[in-house]
């Protein structure tokens, strides 16, 4: 049987929107008790909850309830949120992979467009890119390189596995993608056939 005073103090600390000290609790109880007496009761309450899923803790003389730190993982559950890398980010990543180490200004020079800071942040968040010191030129810009996680994700043993420019061209990856042009190519072939006939 928990006594009424103890119940009252427990409820008060529970419902309070900020931690309470013994003096505040005594005040709300109409100052029939000294802060010392209140403190003794608070400690009894804390004892009663010890080892449960609820803790009564003191911080700088103020008391509040909280959940034990060792159970934090149950309260904050992590969930995967897969996102597709944007075109811009893929371009920046490719430039870093082919040209590393490379500064942001150099990336922009190669891309021909400004690169937002967010794009590099995304690549660093993905842990595919990391800073690799500074270039010893005026302004000492940060330079970036790819990580081991990058190689792993893309199934590469080393950066040397990246296809060269000629391989890319042969694979058609350097061709302008233009439907009208492709159609014209088809018709030219027809002409050639006609000539041979």
Partner 1 sequence: MPLDFEIVPAAPEREDALQLSLESWEGPLDLLLALARSQKVDLKQISILALVEQYLTFIAEARELKLEVAADYLVMAAWLAYLKSALLLPKDPLEDPSPDELALRLQLRLQRLAAMRDAAARLLARDRIGRDVFLRAKPEGLRDIKVRRWDASLYDLLAAYGQVKLRAEPVVHMVSRRPVITLDAALHHLQRMLGVKLDWAELADFLPPDYDGPLRRSAIASSFVAALELARQGRVELKQEGAFEPLYLKAAGV
Q: Which of residues 63-122 bind a copy of itself (CB under 8 A)?
A: 65, 67-68, 71, 74-75, 77
Task: Tell me the two tokens of residue 118.
Answer: 């967010």
Does position 154 interact with partner 1 (CB under 8 A)? The reply is yes
The C-alpha atoms of residue 8 and residue 30 are separated, in whole angstroms, by: 12
Give Cβ neighbours of residue 99 (< 8 Å, ≥ 6 apart): 106, 110
**Distance linking the first and last C-alpha atoms of the chain:** 108
- Cα 155 from chain centroid? 23
The CA angle 116-122-124, to the nearest 5 degrees, is 110
Q: Which partner in partner 1, a copy of itself, none is near 9 (CB below 5 to 8 A by kind)?
A: a copy of itself
Binding mask 42-71 toward partner 1 (x if CB under 8 A, else -) reads: ----------------------xxxxxx--
Q: Which of residues 18-37 bind a copy of itself (CB under 8 A)?
A: 28-29
For partner 1, the closer of residues 94 and 142 by Cβ is 94
Q: Which of residues 107-136 bind partner 1 (CB under 8 A)?
A: 110-113, 122, 125-126, 128
């Amino acid at each position: 049987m928990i006594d009424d005073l103890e119940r009252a103090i427990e409820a008060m600390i529970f419902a309070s929107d900020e931690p309470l000290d013994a003096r505040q609790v005594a005040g709300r109880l109409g100052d029939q008790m000294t802060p010392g007496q209140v403190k003794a009761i608070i400690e009894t309450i804390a004892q009663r909850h010890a080892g449960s899923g609820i803790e009564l803790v003191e911080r700088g003389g103020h008391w509040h309830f909280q959940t034990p730190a060792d159970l934090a993982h149950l309260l904050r559950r992590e969930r995967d949120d897969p996102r597709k890398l944007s075109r811009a980010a893929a371009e920046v990543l490719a430039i870093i992979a082919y040209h590393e180490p490379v500064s942001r200004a150099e990336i922009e020079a190669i891309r021909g467009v400004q690169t937002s800071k967010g794009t590099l942040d995304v690549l660093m968040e993905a842990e595919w890119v990391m800073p690799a010191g500074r270039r010893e030129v005026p302004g000492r810009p940060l330079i970036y390189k790819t990580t081991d996680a990058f190689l792993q994700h893309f199934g590469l043993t080393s950066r040397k596995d990246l296809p060269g420019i000629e391989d890319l061209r042969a694979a058609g990856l350097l061709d302008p993608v233009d439907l009208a042009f492709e159609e014209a190519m088809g018709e030219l072939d027809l002409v050639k056939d006609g000539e041979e006939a």
